[in-house]
Amino acid sequence: MNVISIREMTKEDMEKILQNAAEIASGKRKPDLRGKILATLFFEPSTRTKLSFQSAAQRCGMNVLDFLTEQSSLKKGETFTDTIKTISGYADVLAIRHPKEGSVRFASDVTNKPVVNGGDGGNQHPTQTLIDLFTIKQLKKKIDGLNVYLVGDLKHARTMRSLLYALCMFGAKVTVVAPKGLEMERSYVEEIEAKFNTKVAKTNEMDIKDADVLYICRIQSERFEDPLEAKRVTEKFRLTKESLIGSKEELAILHPLPKINEIDAEIDRMPQAKYFEQAHNGIPVRMAVLEYVLKR
C-beta of 98 vs 218, nearer to ligand NCD: 218
Please tell me which residue in 98, 105, 113, 125 is annotated as part of the active site.
Answer: 125
Whole-angstrom distance, CA of residue 195 vs CA of residue 170? 12
Q: Does 125 bind ligand NCD (CB under 6 A)?
A: yes
Of 128, 147, 162, 281, the one binding ligand NCD (CB under 6 A) is: 128
Q: Can you tell me whether residue 279 is helix, strand or coil?
A: helix
125 is catalytic: yes
C-beta of 114 vs 119, nearer to ligand NCD: 119
C-beta of 127 vs 173, nearer to ligand NCD: 127
Whole-angstrom distance, CA of residue 166 vs CA of residue 172? 9
Of 290, 232, 274, 289, nearest to 135 by C-alpha is 274
Per-residue mark of binding to ligand NCD, 206-245 (x: CB under 6 A): -----------xx-x-------------------------
Please tell me which residue in 97, 98, 156, 161 is annotated as part of the active site.
Answer: 97
Per-residue mark of binding to ligand NCD, 134-163 (x: CB under 6 A): ------------------------xx----
Q: Does 98 bind ligand NCD (CB under 6 A)?
A: no
Please tell me which residue in 28, 29, 34, 76 is annotated as part of the active site.
Answer: 76
Whole-angstrom distance, CA of residue 134 vs CA of residue 17? 9
Q: Does 257 bind ligand NCD (CB under 6 A)?
A: yes
Dihedral (CA of 59, 93, 51, 18) sign: negative
Can you list the positions of beta strands (E) in 50-199?
A: 63-67, 93-98, 115-120, 147-151, 173-177
Dihedral (CA of 110, 115, 118, 120) sign: positive
- Amino acid found at 200: V
The residues annotated as belonging to the active site are 48-49, 76, 97, 125
Q: Which residues of the shown chain bind ligand NCD in the complex (CB under 6 A)?
A: 48-49, 119, 125, 128, 158-159, 217-218, 220, 256-257
